[in-house]
Amino acid sequence: MPSIRIKGGLSRLAGVISIPPSKSHLIRILFASLLLGNRGPRIREEFSNILVAEGFEDMTSCSEDVRAAWDLVNQLGDPSSSGSGSMNTSSGLIYQTEIDCAESGLVLRLATPLMATLGRPVNILVRGTLASRSQNPFEDIFNQLDVDFTYLGKAGYPPFRVCGLASPPHLVPKNIDVEGRTGSQYLSGLLMCYAFLRASGVFIRARDLRSRPYVDLTLDVLRDFGVRVTEPERDVFGFHGDNPVSPSVLQVQADWSGAACFLVAAALCGEISLRGIDLGDLVDVRDAESQDKVHVPRWSREPDGKIVEFLREAGTDILPHPIYPRSILVKKAMAPRAFDISIRDCPDLFPCLAAWGSFISGETSKIRDVEGLRHKETDRLKTVLDTLGRLGIKCWTEGNCFYVEGKDYIEGGISLRTYSDHRLVMLGALVSLRARRDIILEGVDCVRKSFPSFFSCFKDLGLRFCDE
């Protein structure tokens, strides 16, 4: 399905779909199972004790990022799956001369510090758009940890090689500072690594940390495995040499990032039931800068759960489902209102929110803290501006803010690039719902990175499309 044609005519959606498991949560659990729980072939048995979300059938139904994590975890922990370049190490991991992180930034940032614990050089490979995304923060991190870090191609970009230089010749935990403006995944990788090494009496300090709730998700997973990380000061994390334990059962959250697209689709043109999403008890979470209060389900640390409150405040009905357990019902917004929100901690919501603001007719919506979008699979700020502009939607940036002026519908009748970015596929699908004429989306296969059943779900809801 390299390209599809979505039929114009202002769609009306209705039906029931299941949301897949959160790749952010599941990937963290897979790494923790390897590092802190059962190692070796038992990782396969351990996975049977993980309760996953409604949309999960087996590993083949998971996103490409989750499958990349699954393959790597088994490669590092299961001698029977190791290649010719493998050998046992004192850490318990299976040494590989090279590893493949595929196109997953999270897998790359969780795995790279671990490779520096093995005491031998490891080449770290990637694929697709990840090869064009700068990994400069690793330079500063490994310089502080006495780890040799060498680019194998263009400076600043993968692939690269890591190898410990200390005595013994592997990464040794120490007090370090981590730059947090470029995202939280580098910090999450170090938190996992320090826990694996049973670090004690050392601290990691994060400066100007963005996407803090994803760090909280990492801390929750570590806590599930018996590792206590304290925080004597805000964004300063301390370790105490805890011996981990293997939990008997873990509940994997549903994917709020993927669910957000369908919440917006319902708000635009339908009534959709989403299974596997449970509003549950709500807790208050404060935005790091504005101190604005938002609500996310207590069982979900994923910041993209903020989409519930964002849409509610803009006039959308989002209710616990009256029939299905752990499900919600989302109804079309009859009188949508413009919004002014920050995506500092939830940047993946940007394309969906930009689409939503595009159809709040006659009003201008504002999305703050957008500069970090330039470091995603694409320069996501630029590609969203270009995409909406080609559709005749007025949008612009001022400083660190994005503005979009809403209208009732768009004409359509054009082809849209997706820039090999799964979130741009979601944006294209959403704007097509309010198009008078057909829209062709080019290169939609990349949506499998996060949501393999994305178009199957839309088909079940009544979206009309065909291969192009």
**pLDDT the model gives residue 45:** 37
- The residue-averaged pLDDT of 70-76 equals 88
Mean pLDDT of 170-190: 90
In this prediction, residue 41 carries a pLDDT of: 31
Structure tokens at 114: 């671990």
pLDDT tens column, 236-264: 999 998 878 777 667 777 888 899 999 99
pLDDT tens-digit series, residues 358-385: 999 999 999 999 988 887 778 899 999 9
pLDDT at 61: 62
Which of 122, 291, 121, 112 lies closest to 185 in space, CA to CA? 112
A 10 A CB-CB count for 313 gives: 13
- Judge contact between 103 and 128, C-beta under 8 A: yes
Q: In the chain, pLDDT over 90 holds for what percent of residues?
A: 53
The pLDDT score that the predictor gives to residue 300 is 52
Give every CB contact of residue 375 below 8 A, 6+ residues apart in sequence.
133, 134, 182, 183
Burial of 262 (0-12, 13-18, 19+ CB in 10 A): buried
Q: Which CATH architecture has domain 23-251?
A: Alpha-beta prism (3.65)
**DSSP conformational letter for 242:** P
Alpha helices in 94-232 (DSSP H): 105-115, 137-144, 185-196, 212-224
391 confidence band (pLDDT: 50, 70, 90): very high
**Res 112: pLDDT:** 95
Please give the residue that has the higher pLDDT: either 224 or 403: 403
pLDDT in tens, 414-462: 999 999 899 999 999 999 999 999 999 999 999 988 898 999 999 999 9
Q: 58 falls in which pLDDT band (50, 70, 90)?
A: low
What local confidence, expressed as pLDDT, does residue 60 receive? Answer: 57
Provide the β-strand partners of residue 417: 442
Q: Could you tell me the pLDDT band of residue 287, with boundaries at 50, 70 and 90?
A: very low
Tally of CA atoms within 13 A in the half-sphere of 373 that contains its CB: 28
Domain ranges of the chain: 3-20+254-467, 23-251
Looking only at the bridges linking them, the beta strands covering 98-100 and 122-125 are parallel
Residues contacting 136, CB < 8 A, separation 6+: 156, 182
**The residue type at 468:** E
Q: Which tokens in the block code for residue 22?
A: 């959160």
| Contact status, residue 423 vs residue 448, Cβ threshold 8 Å | no
Is residue 172 predicted with pLDDT exceeding 80?
yes
**Residue-level length of the chain:** 468
23-251: same fold as 3-20+254-467? yes
- Rounded to the nearest integer, the mean pLDDT of the chain is 84
Confidence of residue 211 (pLDDT cuts 50, 70, 90): confident
How many Cβ atoms from other residues are within 10 Å of residue 303's Cβ?
28
Give the model's confidence band at 268: pLDDT under 50 very low, under 70 low, under 90 confident, else very high: very high
**Which is higher by pLDDT, 119 or 337?**
337
* pLDDT band at 299; cut points 50, 70, 90: very low
Model confidence, pTM: 0.87
Query: Would you say residue 166 has pLDDT above 70?
Result: no
The torsion angle over the Cα atoms of residues 259, 262, 267 and 270, rounded to 10 degrees, is -140
pLDDT of residue 296: 42
Reading the block at residue 45, the tokens are 């048995």
Strand ranges (E), 261-363? 270-275, 282-286, 293-297, 317-320, 327-331, 340-342
Per-residue model confidence (pLDDT) at position 167: 56
The CATH number assigned to the domain with range 3-20+254-467 reads: 3.65.10.10
Burial (Cβ within 10 Å: 0-12, 13-18, ≥19) of residue 71: middle
pLDDT of residue 291: 41
Average pLDDT (17-32) is 89
Report the pLDDT averaged over residues 310-324.
90
Closest to 19 measured CA to CA, from 461, 462, 451: 451
What number is the average pLDDT over the span 161-187? 83
Q: Is the pLDDT assigned to residue 89 strictly greater than 80?
A: no
